Structure 1
Amino acid sequence: MLADLLSGLPGPLFVLAIAVLVVAEAALVIGVVLPGSSALLTLGVFSDNGVVPLPVALAVGTVAAVAGSHLSFAAGRYRPGALSSRWLAGSKGRRARAVLCRSGGSAVLIGQWVVGARTLTPRFAAAAGLSYRRFLPWNVPSAVAWGLVWVAVGYGASEAYQQWSWLAVVAAVVLLAALLVVGRRALDRVDAVQEA
């Protein structure tokens, strides 16, 4: 788990690692695999344990959230790349572009709170032509609130997290086993259809 990986770091290096993870989550599109909310929850837990003062944790969470979104927007504007270009080129992309241009502000606000979409929304909004002037007033308050909420939830749930973190491991193992069974049955059905 993320907390275990970062627990041995000294306070300032721990804070820097969390900030880099949250910024990179949006800026480098790793948020599709590693949501920044996990890093901010960990920051909140460590703040409750006295590793990082709460005001510092809240400040780092909000600044990193805003910075990551803005770097993602800049990447979509100045280096849209194959991901944005390919996604925005198809019929679904054209509809998404229309939605982003028509309701860009509210799409940016909602995208901030959806796992995976937080990573992609600023990039796609910029690539779709949403102006920075429309992006800024919707993104900054939403990113600040997102950073504050996740750090505060981690801070408030620290004790429960420490007592019940084993349950997440058990749930992940059960889910993996269920996916393997379902996947195996699906493959068996495909094989049966191909043989018939």
Structure 2
Amino acid sequence: MIDEVIGDFLEAVGAIDPLLRTLLAGIAMLLETSVLLGLVVPGDTIVIVAALAVEQWPWWLALIAAIVLGALAGESIGFAIGHWLGPRIDRWLARRWPRASARWRRTERYLARRGGPAIFLSRFLPVAHSLVPLIVGASAMPYRRFLAWTIPACLVWAGAYASAGWLAGGTYRELADRLHGAGYLLVAVLAAFILLVWLAKRIIARIEARHLRDEEQEQEQEGA
């Protein structure tokens, strides 16, 4: 049963023109890394689905390139918005959306304390990956320095997700005709990858948590 469902799904995704599929993944990443839209667009899911249908390594490389370019485009838009409108957005949030304003301040402190590494690590943290470019743009950090930290992060992220989907899809296609229940293997590969990503995010978030605390929290921590 699961083999039929997965086989039909991969056939449907594979029927989409590879170029269109690759472009859609890039657009999804542009939206996923954009301000606000990044909170609702499941870029990682779309990338994995696109990677599942990749059968040749040139398209795997093309997918990675599209993911990186899409992410950089979205983050660059966020940087530009922050550069031109950052102070206005900051004041508007303080008046209209106190909770979001508090998150803005928290991210500002994080960037001030960690600098470039915060930009790199934010690519792997929920919410932060769409907020950090905006706040960096509103700061004094040059665009070139921002790119110097975010490009490697985008490459690592794109390579990991595209490779996981490609490996899972390729393994299934190779074993589908010879192994009953090959679909379970595909699910297991993806589940293992998702678990590793979740663990990595938890570890990064825990390590970086002390840099996100405000001064009062730090004083309480020291006094405890």
- 8 Å contact from structure 1 (residues 84, 123) kept in 2: no
Q: Answer yes or no: is 1:74 the counterpart of 2:80.
A: yes
Q: Distance in 2 between matches of 1:28 and 1:98?
A: 19
Q: TM-score, normalised by structure 2?
A: 0.59
Divergent runs of 4+, >4 A? 87-92, 164-168
Letter of the 1:120 counterpart:
L
How far apart in 1 are the matches of 2:147 and 2:115? 11
**How many matched pairs?**
164
- Native 8 Å contact 2:25 2:63 kept in 1: no
Which of 37, 40, 44 is the matching residue for 1:37?
44
Unaligned runs of 5+ in 2: 1-8, 173-181, 191-224
The TM-score, its normalising length taken from structure 1, stands at 0.66
CA displacement 1:35-91 (0-9 Å, x = unmatched): 32222212221214x597222222222222222222222222223364785169855
Q: 1:95 to 1:25 in 2, by over 3 A?
A: closer
Root mean square deviation of aligned Cα: 3.4
**C-alpha distance in 2, partners of 1:163/1:75?**
44
- Residue 194 of structure 2 corresponds to none
Deviates more, 1:125-134 or 1:151-160: 125-134
Give yes or no for the alignment of 1:11 onto 2:22: no
**Would the alpha carbon gap of residues 51 and 137 (structure 1) be closer, same or farther in structure 2, given more than 3 Å must change?**
closer
Q: Which residue of 1 aligns with 2:153?
A: 142
Contact preservation (8 Å) 2:122, 2:129: yes
Structure 1: how far apart are the matches of 2:157 and 2:34? 16
Indicate if the aligned counterparts of 2:107 and 2:128 stay in contact, CA closer than 8 A: no
Instruction: Give yes or no for the alignment of 1:53 onto 2:59.
Output: yes
Shift in Å, 1:11: 2.1
Counterpart pick for 1:97 among 103, 108, 133: 108
Classify the secondary structure of the residue corresponding to 1:142: helix
Aligned partner letter, 1:152: S
Partner of 2:70: 64
Distance (whole Å) between structure 1 residues aligned to residue 116 and residue 37 of structure 2? 23
The whole-number CA distance in structure 2 between the counterparts of 1:84 and 1:148 is 38
Question: What is the distance in 2 between the residues matched to 1:84 and 1:29?
Answer: 17
8 Å contact from structure 1 (residues 19, 60) kept in 2: yes
Change (3 A) 1:54 1:124: same
**Aligned residue type for 2:33:** A
Structure 1 residue 144: deviation in Å? Answer: 1.6
CA distance in structure 2 between the aligned counterparts of 1:12 and 1:93, rounded to whole angstroms: 38
Q: For 1:124 and 1:39, locate their aligned partners in 2 and report how far apart those are by CA, in whole Å.
A: 26
Report the secondary structure of 2:126's partner residue: coil
Residue identity (%): 21
Please state whether the residue corresponding to 1:41 is helix, strand or coil.
Answer: helix
Which residue identity is paired with 1:54?
Answer: W
